[in-house]
Amino acid sequence: MLEKLNGIEVRFIELERKLCDPEIVNDLEKYQTCTREHAGLGKLVAAFRSYKETLESLGESMELLNDSDPEIKNLAKDEIAVLTGKKADLEEQLKELLMPKDPNDEKNVIVEIRAGTGGEEAALFAGDLFRMYCRYTESKNWRVEVISQHPTGAGGFKEIIVMIHGKGAYSSFKYESGTHRVQRVPTTETQGRIHTSAVTVAVLPEAEDVEVSVEPSDLKIDVYRSTGPGGQSVNTTDSAVRITHLPTGLVVTCQDEKSQLKNKNKAMKVLKARLLDSMIKEQNDKRSEERRSQVGSGDRSERIRTYNFPQGRVSDHRIGLTLYKLEDVMQGDLEEIIVALTTFYQAQAIKNAESDSTTKS
C-alpha cells in the first residue's frame, strides 16, 4: 500500500507543477483534465502525508522510551498510545480512499417505482415511496423531474419513473434497488387485517452519450394520442411517444408532456439509462459471486426492506438494520439507512480487496 501511495503522491506533485505551466494553463482542455485529477487525489494525498507525519512522530516517541528520565518515559507512553490510535484510523481511511470509485456515483439518477403484488394497496405504497424519495431529495436540495407516471384512481401509482438531478444522487440511491415490502391494514380492509404488499424499485444512473451510443436505425419510434388524466392539449394531440430499441427489445413510453419532442427526449433518457444498466449488469455477471456481493446484486426480485406500520418498524434485510422510526423514514429521513448501507458495502469491498491481495501474493 505504501508503494502505491508514494506513487500517487509523486503524481500529485507532478500535477501541481503542470497547473503552474503556462502551456497547460493556456490549453483549457488540458488544464481542466489536470485540475480534475489533482482535485481527485487531494484528499488521499493529504491523508497519506498525515500518516507519514504520524509514523515519524511515533518513531520519535518510541526512542524517548529509552530516556533515563521516568517522567519523559511516561509522557512518551501516553503519546505512543495516542499516535497508535491515530495511525490505525489513518490506515483505515487510506484503505477506503484507495478503493476504486464507482464512476456513476456523482451522476443524476433515474428511479423507477412499480406496484407489485397487492393490487391497489401496492399502488398506494408505490405512491408513498415516491413521496418519501421526494422529501429526501428536497432535504439534499436536489430536484425531481417526473418522466412517466401511471396513476390509479385511489391516489397511488401502477408505475412512476422520475429523474433526480443532483451531484451524488446515484451514490445515495443505488442501494434502493429491489423489492420493498409493506405490512399494514389497507384503508379498504373492513376486518382490520394486516396485508402484505410489495413494490419494486429500479435505480439507474443517467447515461451520457459517450457511454451509450444508440444508432437511429436501431430505433422504432411510434407516436400516439395520450390516454388517462391530462390537461389541455395532452389528450387531444399525438404527443405520446413509444420508443422500441430493436436489438434488445427494450420499450420505453412517455406521454406526460404536451410536446412530442419533450416526451421523446425523456423517453430517450430512460432508454439510455436502461441500456447502461444492462451493460453494467453484464460486466458484473462476469465476476465471481463474491465480487458481485461487495456492491449488492441490485436484483429487482431481492426483498431488501420491510416497512411494518403496526409496529412502526422498518427493517433492511441486507445488513440486519431495524429502526423503530417508520414515520420519520416515510417523511424522507433516510440518511441513517443510506449511511449504514454505504458503510457496510464499503467495508465489504475493502475486505474483499484485502483477500484478493493476499491470494495474489
- Report long-range pairs for 140-149 (Cβ below 8 Å, ≥24 apart): 140/166, 140/169, 140/172, 141/166, 142/166, 142/169, 146/256, 147/110, 147/254, 147/256, 147/266, 147/267, 147/269, 147/270, 148/253, 148/254, 148/255, 148/256, 148/266, 148/267, 148/270, 149/256
Which pTM was predicted?
A: 0.65
Give the pLDDT score at 12. Answer: 92
Condensed to tens digits (0 to 9), the pLDDT of residues 106-158 reads 889 999 999 998 889 999 999 999 999 999 999 999 999 998 889 998 889 99
Distance CA 203, CA 276 (A): 11
Ordered by where they begin, the domains of the chain are 2-98 (1.20.58), 109-210+288-349 (3.30.70.1660), 216-282 (3.30.160.20)
Q: For residues 288-295, give the mean pLDDT.
A: 39
Would the pLDDT of 206 be above 70? yes
Give the pLDDT score at 94. Answer: 87
Length of the chain: 361
Distance CA 73, CA 259 (A): 79
Q: Tell me the one-letter amino acid at 83.
A: L
pLDDT band with cut points at 50, 70 and 90 for residue 285: low
